A and B are shown apart, each in its own frame.
Chain A
Amino acid sequence: GQNIDQPTEMTATEGAIVQINCTYQTSGFNGLFWYQQHAGEAPTFLSYNVLDGLEEKGRFSSFLSRSKGYSYLLLKELQMKDSASYLCAGGYNKLIFGAGTRLAVHP
């Protein structure tokens, strides 16, 4: 079966660091993706991990552990514009998405 779980909501303060976790079970695996989606807009690609470890891209980093079926997205130096939903996705020839984590950044 295929299942992707992530928390429904998180809140954080501007300038802080937040970690959004994702656990997955997929029948095939070809990488783990993170997308950002602002309200009323389409998801946009943030990161892709296929090997274990941390991938850093500016203020955003993504981590993957294939043996644990676990990933996280780390957002540093939070800004108000980071308030959005963050979607974890994985699969083989088609991506299955988690329900998304709604992050609210407060001043």
Chain B
Amino acid sequence: DVKVTQSSRYLVKRTGEKVFLECVQDMDHENMFWYRQDPGLGLRLIYFSYDVKMKEKGDIPEGYSVSREKKERFSLILESASTNQTSMYLCASSLGGGRSGNTIYFGEGSWLTVV
């Protein structure tokens, strides 16, 4: 089974703090993703990475950065957290290579509250 693990399930941070969300997958997947999910807006892609040290902006990258130093690990960074970044953050990975390799597997999610 694919296992995608997010380091923190629930976090509460103060406005202006730097926040790190860590994600690890154990299936040697090429692609990794960070989404956020908000009521009525669905899942929105923040950043994705298709290889180590490679990253591409998704639909809503503003206020976020990412790091992929190792294949299995993909970190999401909020340089200066703001209240509008209160959300559920979902990390995901996929094998890559097209077709069914695009099947995305999600971690359990991280609920971030910025106060």
Interface residues of chain A, those whose CB is within 8 Å of chain B, are 30-31, 33, 41-45, 48, 50, 87, 89, 91-100
Does B98 lie within 8 Å of A87, measured CB to CB? no
Contact with B103, one of A33, A42, A87 (Cβ below 8 angstroms): A33
Nearest 3 pairs of A and B residues by beta carbon: A99-B42, A42-B106, A97-B43
Q: How far is the CA of A100 from the CA of B90 in the complex (A)?
A: 15
Does A48 lie within 8 Å of B103, measured CB to CB? yes
Residues of B contacting A: mostly:
mixed
Does A42 lie within 8 Å of B43, measured CB to CB? no
Q: How far is the CA of A45 from the CA of B101 in the complex (A)?
A: 13
Q: How far is the CA of A50 from the CA of B99 in the complex (A)?
A: 7
Q: How far is the CA of A93 from the CA of B99 in the complex (A)?
A: 9
Any chain A CB within 8 A of the CB of B48?
Answer: yes
Does B42 lie within 8 Å of A97, measured CB to CB? yes
Does A45 lie within 8 Å of B103, measured CB to CB? yes
Pull 7 A–B residue pairs with CB atoms less than 8 Å apart, ordered by A. Answer: A33-B103, A42-B109, A45-B105, A89-B104, A94-B31, A96-B45, A97-B43
Does A93 lie within 8 Å of B42, measured CB to CB? no
Task: Output the least CB separation between B68 and chain A (Å).
Answer: 15
Any chain A CB within 8 A of the CB of B33?
Answer: yes
Q: How far is the CA of A16 from the CA of B90 in the complex (A)?
A: 32
Q: How far is the CA of A30 from the CA of B31 in the complex (A)?
A: 15
Contact with B104, one of A45, A50, A100 (Cβ below 8 angstroms): A45
Task: Output the least CB separation between B1 and chain A (Å).
Answer: 11
Does A31 lie within 8 Å of B43, measured CB to CB? no
Any chain A CB within 8 A of the CB of B61?
Answer: no
